[in-house]
Amino acid sequence: MEMVPGMAHKKKGDEISFHNVWLEALTSRCPMWWCRTFTLDSSQYGLPQSRKRNYTVGVNRLRLPVEPRPPPQGLQGSGGYRLQDALHPGLPPFRESECTEQQRRNLFLYKHLAQERLSNSAGAIACVAADRNPRKDFGQWVRADGMVSTLRTCNELEWVFIFFPDGSLRMSRPVHPYERFALQGFQVTHCAGHLLTKSEVLLTTGNAMSVPVVGAVATEILRAMASWGLLAPSRLRPPLPCLHERARALERQRKRFALSTDIAFLDGWRLRLEGRAAKQPRVA
């Protein structure tokens, strides 16, 4: 279960937070489960996004006699990439004239803030939330550390500025909805984004759990299962030759099935033609 950290904060007048109430109810009604909550940040698991979330993990006591442990902060070889790697280089520029008047004012302020921040660092890319006014208290600060702000359902325009070494603006455009999938750790080439509208993509990516974080939590449980002899360590990650051989076998099976289907269809068609020919009177 994933929740925003604010769910663990106590409201004014409450003795405990909603998250603690929910966790106590879950523990009392399901005593056969170990339930623990960890605060994890996706930036520690190879994603260029600072996204802190509370993950509640449950493990069946009867199956695994040890409570769940938090995964290590940062995975070795997790395949992390920079923000530049998540952005598609071939997208056309976005005209700021298509933004609303408030968004254009926000971008004007953010652009100068980004130039000031990047002049004191070695970076050349900044990301801001164009839907948030930087002059207000709830405004998002400029991200000049190679990451984007936390993806939210209410933030439609996650904006990117890329500058030349001399400080002049090189590119200014919003993050594409499909790029939001990549920033959450999904493989964009295999996602179902082409079946969704833009509003649905913004909603699903804003509510999505970061894939590497979920993988880290699951890997830690699998390691505990393997240490207790409940799972063979070799089965955690099958060797690639076996996977390739299995793929080739499935492809051969698919071809044999398709061929047998074609042969059965042709045999049935031949028998029907022979039956029709037998019913027709022979002409001398």
Tell me: the pLDDT tens digits for 165-222? Answer: 888 888 888 888 888 888 998 877 666 666 788 888 888 888 889 999 999 999 899 8
User: Is 136 or 32 the better-scoring residue by pLDDT?
Assistant: 32
pLDDT at 51 over 60: yes
Rounded Cα gap, residues 275 and 242, in angstroms = 49
Q: Let me know: does 157 contact 206? Beta carbons within 8 Å.
A: no
Helix (H, G, I), strand (E, B) or coil at 49: strand
Q: Let me know: does 59 contact 67? Beta carbons within 8 Å.
A: yes
pLDDT at 78 over 60: no
The 10s digit of each residue's pLDDT in 99-130 is 888 888 999 999 888 888 887 666 688 998 88
Q: Let me know: does 70 contact 41? Beta carbons within 8 Å.
A: no
| Amino acid 217: pLDDT | 92
DSSP E strands in 157-260: the ranges are 158-163, 169-174
- What lies within 8 Å, CB to CB, of 58 at 6+ separation is 26, 30, 33, 34, 35, 68
Q: Let me know: does 131 contact 147? Beta carbons within 8 Å.
A: no
pLDDT at 26 over 60: yes
- The answer to whether the pTM exceeds 0.75 is no
